[in-house]
Structure 1
Amino acid sequence: METQKHFVIHGKHQKPIVIDVSYPENKTKLPIIIFCHGYKGFKDWGAWNLMAKAFAKAGFYFIKFNFSHNGGTVEQPIDFPDLEAFGNNNYTKELDDLETVIDWVFNTKEVTKLTDVNTLSLIGHSRGGGIVLIKAEEDKRVKTVITLAGVCDFANRTAAIGDLKQWKEEGVTYVLNGRTKQQMPHFYQFYEDFKANKERLTIKRAVSNLNIPHLIIHGDTDTSVLIDEAEQLHQWNPQSKLIIIEGANHVFETQHPWQKEKVSSQLNEVVKHSFAFLLP
């Protein structure tokens, strides 16, 4: 049997961080995984809950959380009721949130009594892939990192959000969420924060300096983050392992809401390859 618990912890930026943990009952010294969702994502998106359950069943202490400024709230962690927070999000806030969650893991007795904190792995999807790669390079507590459809460059994506001159003049630009039909705001601080922290936020620099096991998983029909980005990550870190999932799109043939009782066959491949990479 698997247990799931929920926590709310304080972030560094005046917003709470909502956390789920999933783990097998009556076991200790569990290896730890922290999963980071992507852009316009959240911890309960699609089949992520089923993925968490699969990792717990396999003997992991699996943590997933909402970034503090992803647009969700404690009361409504699914979707985007707080667009003001979404507009004030940026990459460094997400790195700070991830650090806060890692600190929580190491400093919470309820977690440490069940786990082996020396086994910490990070998994990131899409933009979250870039976040976990940067954090893995700068935080020696991280022992393994896995990216799922992960991005390789924040600079191009930041510049592509909107016309920079108009963005600066108006202070905000909007991106349509095709599923919810919301106009998602990005305040100009997003660009300013990237420019102020450009070296730290260069994924190539982080990946080139990684000296821990690194698994790259990508679908060959991904139109949101092209497979070229996975190949670029692998080139920057030749010691990494690259696995291509045939027929998989950006979310490995899942969607939100996901109402099936099992994950898609493509996401099941992701889970199995992750097990093989992480388990001795």
Structure 2
Amino acid sequence: MAKLYHLFAVFCVSILLALGQDLSCIDPGCSTEEDRAILWPFEDPNFFLQCEESPWELVRRPCMDKLLFDFQRQECVDPYKWEPPCPGEELLPQCPRVVCRTPHDQRRLWPHEDPSNFLQCVPAPRGGMEALTRECNAGTLFSWTLQRCLEAELWERDCTFEDTTTETTEETTEETTEGTTTPGTTAEPERGICPVPICAVQDPRLYPHTDWTLYYACIPDVNGFWVPLERPCGAGTFFHFGRQLCVFMVDWEDFCL
């Protein structure tokens, strides 16, 4: 079944490419010795053009085994390796700037100007969330679209940090006072506040803390009154009120928002 799916995919790609490719940058011919040594692209990439003598003229030749002719490589290649001979100038979207405001933002990985890195929202030591730079494994690069690091040969740039307008920079520039940010950075969102629980009676539930590495448990004091006591999570984990336990960042949600 997998083999049939692969063959069907190759067939579909070949049909789509054969619907027409831009050859405006190519001027095939056999007038010079250099021209005659070149294999030229045809409108349908399942074929290519080759100069043959008597007299010199372009003759269409097919690629075999469902391969497509790649002009840059001068050979027939697998469809997933094929590139158009006259690639158009593709405008990449602007890479989003990291924001750690909502639980959805905090679960997402964010692009870095160096694609061997990416940004991840993590709880800050003094409260709130901050963007921390993470490194991809050696030989891999981060894909914003796929939300993971890929092998370098499979990676394609899917956004750009270039051409950031002055207007955009000015919008993110604020006076460097408490609660604001420096030019070109994203303001840290307001931190959710978790109230200290009231332990009037015995309560087996654990409650979220404003510091996500802690939680509250209702414990009796020396006088027999139930009071909220701070408890720490294990290293690298954060308290999840819904699950009533400490979890890793990928599973964590902010119940203080």
Q: TM-score, normalization: structure 1?
A: 0.22
Q: Which has the higher contact order (CA 8 A, sep 6+)?
A: 1
Structure number with larger C-alpha Rg: 2
| Greater fraction of residues in helix | 1
Q: TM-score, normalization: structure 2?
A: 0.23
| Greater fraction of residues in strand | 2
